[in-house]
């Protein structure tokens, strides 16, 4: 080893058969998205215009009791998502699919940008905002821009309220996603990356912890120290796009 973490990581990538990328809001910051928490609570102040904490305004409970209120808030934050495109970090992760046998992405982001970049094995543990479904009947549809929805956003089949297929505060994680995460963990990836996430949720921190315990390479890309920094064999204190591009160039040169 020559002490350069980027080349060491790239060399390990060359031999890897399976890699797990865990991503959070930090990876989408380079796409111009504000830093979101959970389903899309703007950090600025942590409250809505009328002073409600995000955890209340975007809770499953509020959605059940006052869907119109929740939708007004979603419509307010929707312009922040409009036109967001995957950046180099999303693109490099997708590109590794052609080179490494198994590339899995575990993301907390609800912006759909990993799929937009071409990643196929994406576990969206908090769901996604670009799909809405009826709270009453099986109707659902893709929606790239909430401006496409008529107001109020009700089901064209049964007139029930629509909702994003995303996990709101106080709601359970989607079972299918949890099962896929279990399977990804069971396959013991050769390398685990934690990118742009503070890893405050145990299910986000756990794969890093387990990889560290079994001696697999762990890499953290984050300008700040986080819950999982202690288990990272390599820490790159920089933005996601810059770091992933550097790893890709080093990988290509080997």
Q: How far is the CB of 163 from Zn ion (least distance, A)?
A: 11
Q: Which helix (H) or strand (E) holds 251?
A: helix 240-253
| Catalytic member of 90, 126, 133, 212 | 126
Interface pick for Zn ion out of 52, 136, 149, 173 (rule CB under 5 A):
136
Pick the stretch among 94-102, 153-161, 186-194, 244-252 that binds Zn ion (CB under 5 A).
153-161
- Count Cβ atoms within 10 A of the Cβ of residue 104 and give its class: 0-12 exposed, 13-18 middle, 19 or more buried: buried
Q: Determine if 157 is a binding residue for Zn ion (CB under 5 A).
A: yes
Residue 141, both tokens: 């549809």
User: How many CB atoms neighbour CB 214 within 10 A?
Assistant: 9
Q: How far is the CB of 133 from Zn ion (least distance, A)?
A: 8
Q: Determine if 123 is a binding residue for Zn ion (CB under 5 A).
A: no
Compute the residue count for the chain: 254
Dihedral sign, CA of 115, 113, 149, 153? positive
Q: Which of 146, 170, 134, 224 is nearest to 54 (CA)?
A: 170
The Cα–Cα gap between 147 and 103 comes to: 34
Q: How far is the CB of 155 from Zn ion (least distance, A)?
A: 3
Pick the stretch among 159-167, 210-218, 227-235, 239-247 that binds Zn ion (CB under 5 A).
159-167
Q: Determine if 160 is a binding residue for Zn ion (CB under 5 A).
A: yes
Determine whether 80 is an active site residue.
Answer: no
- CB of 157 or CB of 225, closer to Zn ion: 157
The Cα–Cα gap between 241 and 88 comes to: 5
Q: Determine if 134 is a binding residue for Zn ion (CB under 5 A).
A: yes
Binding site for Zn ion (CB under 5 A): 134, 136-137, 139, 155, 157-158, 160
The residues carrying an active-site annotation are 126
């Amino acid at each position: 080893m020559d002490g350069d973490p980027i080349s060491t990581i790239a060399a390990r990538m060359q031999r890897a058969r399976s890699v797990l990328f865990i991503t959070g809001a930090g990876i989408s910051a380079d796409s111009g998205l504000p830093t979101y928490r959970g389903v899309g609570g703007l950090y600025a102040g942590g409250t809505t215009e009328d002073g409600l904490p995000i955890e209340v305004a975007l809770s499953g409970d509020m959605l059940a009791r006052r869907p119109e209120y929740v939708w007004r808030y979603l419509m307010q934050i929707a312009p922040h998502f409009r036109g967001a495109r995957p950046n180099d970090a999303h693109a490099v992760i997708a590109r590794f699919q052609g080179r490494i046998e198994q590339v899995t992405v575990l993301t907390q982001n609800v912006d759909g940008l990993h799929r937009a970049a071409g990643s196929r094995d994406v576990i969206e543990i908090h769901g996604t905002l670009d799909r809405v479904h009826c709270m009453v009947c099986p109707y659902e549809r893709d929606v790239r821009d909430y401006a496409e929805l008529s107001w109020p956003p009700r089901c064209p089949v049964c007139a029930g309220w629509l909702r994003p297929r995303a996990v709101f505060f106080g709601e359970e994680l989607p079972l299918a996603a949890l099962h896929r995460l279990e399977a990804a963990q069971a396959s013991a990836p050769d390398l685990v990356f934690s990118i742009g996430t503070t890893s405050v949720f145990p299910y986000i921190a756990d794969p890093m912890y387990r990889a560290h315990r079994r001696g697999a390479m762990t890499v953290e890309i984050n300008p700040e120290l986080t819950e999982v920094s202690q288990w990272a064999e390599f820490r790159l204190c920089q933005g996601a796009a810059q770091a992933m591009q550097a790893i890709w160039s080093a990988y290509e040169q080997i």
